[in-house]
Each structure stands twice: as structure tokens, then as C-alpha cells.
């Protein structure tokens, strides 16, 4: 199933031929990251498996999940900003069911170092775990 937000991200990245330009765009996107509450920048919210430190928090409003995050690495902030852009404001079940195909479509997975790839998978897993927890608590 096509996803409007993911399609838009693919179009945005399609204008860049070089990966250096895509990295620069990721760095720009880091500024769009919904800020995490400073009190959430603790080990409890840090994502295990990321080389850099990444904190992710989530809340539910009217049955939809909203994320906030931060990282001490600027490219990682851009990556999490993209994930949040795709998953924010969806129901827990929609988040669980969303296939994040934009990651391969923009060439992100093949242009990340192995440690960043592991971090990306850890961020996705954590965001989906929040959705699972919120989905279970809604029953």
C-alpha cells in the first residue's frame, strides 16, 4: 500500500544525485525533530543498540500516537525525524502495520554504516514497541 508521507519523502530525496547531498538534507531535517522533554533524556528512554545516544518518547492522544526524540548525533536526528514524520499521529495498529519502504527507496539502508543500520532498526523496533504497548493498554 502506498503511503502519502513516505511517497513525499521519496520525492524529496529524489532531487539529490549524491549521497553527500542526501546526508546534508538529513542534517537539515534534524531541525524538524519534535523536541523531547529534557526530563526524558535519561537512560530509561535511550534506545539500546544505537552507536549514538538516541532518546525516544511517545504519548497517546485520542487513540493516536505522537513521538518526540533527540540524539547527540546530527544525522541520527535526521533519520529519527523521518521516522517520526511517517509514524506520528497514527493509531497503534497503523504503526505496527506500517511498512517503512521509504528507507530502501531513498537508499538509506545501503548508505549507512553497519552500526547506524543497527541503530535504525533499533529505533524502528522501539517505536513499534510503544505502539504495541499503547495498543494493549487500549483494550
Return the exposure string of 67-102: e unless at least 16 CB atoms fall within 10 Å of the residue's CB, then b: bbbbbebebbbbbbbbbbbbbbbbbbeebeebebeb
Q: Give pLDDT tens digits for 30-83.
A: 998 888 989 999 988 999 877 789 999 999 999 999 999 999 999 999 999 999
Distance, C-alpha 105 to centroid of its chain: 15
Question: Can you give the pTM of this predicted structure?
Answer: 0.93
For residue 101, the number of C-alpha atoms closer than 13 Å in the C-beta half-sphere is 11
For the annotated catalytic residues, the residue numbers are: 50
Q: What contacts 43, CB < 8 A, 6 or more positions away?
A: none
Q: Give pLDDT tens digits for 102-126.
A: 999 999 988 888 888 888 999 999 9
Amino acid at each position: 500500500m502506498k503511503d502519502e508521507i513516505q511517497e513525499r519523502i521519496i520525492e524529496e530525496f529524489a532531487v539529490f544525485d549524491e549521497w553527500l547531498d542526501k546526508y546534508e538534507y538529513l542534517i537539515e531535517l534534524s531541525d524538524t525533530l519534535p523536541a523531547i522533554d529534557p526530563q526524558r533524556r535519561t537512560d530509561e528512554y535511550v534506545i539500546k543498540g544505537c552507536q549514538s545516544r538516541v532518546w525516544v518518547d511517545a504519548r497517546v492522544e485520542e487513540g493516536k500516537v505522537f513521538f518526540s526524540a533527540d540524539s547527540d548525533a546530527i544525522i541520527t536526528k535526521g533519520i529519527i525525524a523521518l521516522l517520526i514524520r511517517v509514524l506520528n499521529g497514527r493509531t497503534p495498529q497503523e504503526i505496527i502495520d506500517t511498512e517503512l519502504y521509504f528507507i530502501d527507496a531513498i537508499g538509506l539502508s545501503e548508505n549507512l554504516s553497519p552500526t547506524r543500520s543497527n541503530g535504525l532498526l533499533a529505533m524502528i523496533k522501539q517505536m513499534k514497541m510503544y505502539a504495541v504497548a499503547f495498543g494493549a493498554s487500549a483494550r
